[in-house]
């Protein structure tokens, strides 16, 4: 569908002078949502999976959120916390606001470990998502295996894996003094 304003071209008197003529034309796009019913589709989110992951070679815990409906989820705010299973101490948090989710789509919401190493074990993710009047809450357990943690920790660029020569030198000095 294309709508264009029709305007009669204004005739300018012809000139014998040489020069450059520039004629500007402007256009812009306006998005339109067309529907054949007056009932609006309410968004519905689901938490698919929670897993250890990396984003730009940095350790994160990813929560895969899915929008099942053919409607945008506007002004999406997500709050997430991660803690060890059976413990109350919150290890990692992530908060994002003013996000938008396309219809029938999914994405991985990252919870950064902020330079920490993955530790093998059982964890619990608590995630709350809101969009306008709609609110969704999930609590999901997940496990990080030892070999998976080791593999991700080797690849993380924020973890210092260099040898601590000061510590080794101190140990050797203590052994020599004994």
pTM of the model: 0.71
**Is residue 17 over pLDDT 80?**
no
Task: Note the pLDDT of residue 105.
Answer: 96
Confidence band, pLDDT 50/70/90 cuts, at residue 163? confident
Confidence band, pLDDT 50/70/90 cuts, at residue 144? very high
Domain boundaries defined on the chain: 45-160
User: Considering the domain 45-160, what is its CATH architecture?
Assistant: Sandwich (2.60)
- DSSP string across the chain: -------PPPP-----S------------------SSSSPPPP-EEEEEEEEEEETTEEEEEEEEEE-SSS-EEEEEEEEEEEETT---EEEEEEEEEEEE-TTEEEEEEEE-TTPPP--EEEEEEEEEEETTEEEEEEEEEEE-HHHHHHHHHH-TTS--S--HHHHHHHHHHHHH-
């Amino acid at each position: 569908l294309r709508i264009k304003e029709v305007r009669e071209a204004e005739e300018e008197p012809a000139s014998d002078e040489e020069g450059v003529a520039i004629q500007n034309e402007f256009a812009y796009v306006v998005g339109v949502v067309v529907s054949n019913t007056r009932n609006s589709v309410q968004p519905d989110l689901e938490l698919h999976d929670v897993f250890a992951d990396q984003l730009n070679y940095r350790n994160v815990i990813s929560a895969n959120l899915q929008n099942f409906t053919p409607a945008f989820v506007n002004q999406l705010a997500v709050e997430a916390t991660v803690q060890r299973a059976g413990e109350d101490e919150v290890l990692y948090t992530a908060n994002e606001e003013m996000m938008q989710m396309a219809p029938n789509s999914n994405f991985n919401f990252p919870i950064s470990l902020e330079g920490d190493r993955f530790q093998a074990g059982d964890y619990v993710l608590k995630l709350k998502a809101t969009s306008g009047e709609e609110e969704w809450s999930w609590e999901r357990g997940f496990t990080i295996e030892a070999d998976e943690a080791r593999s991700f920790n080797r690849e993380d660029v924020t973890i210092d894996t260099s040898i601590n020569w000061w510590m080794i030198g101190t140990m050797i000095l203590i052994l020599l003094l004994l």
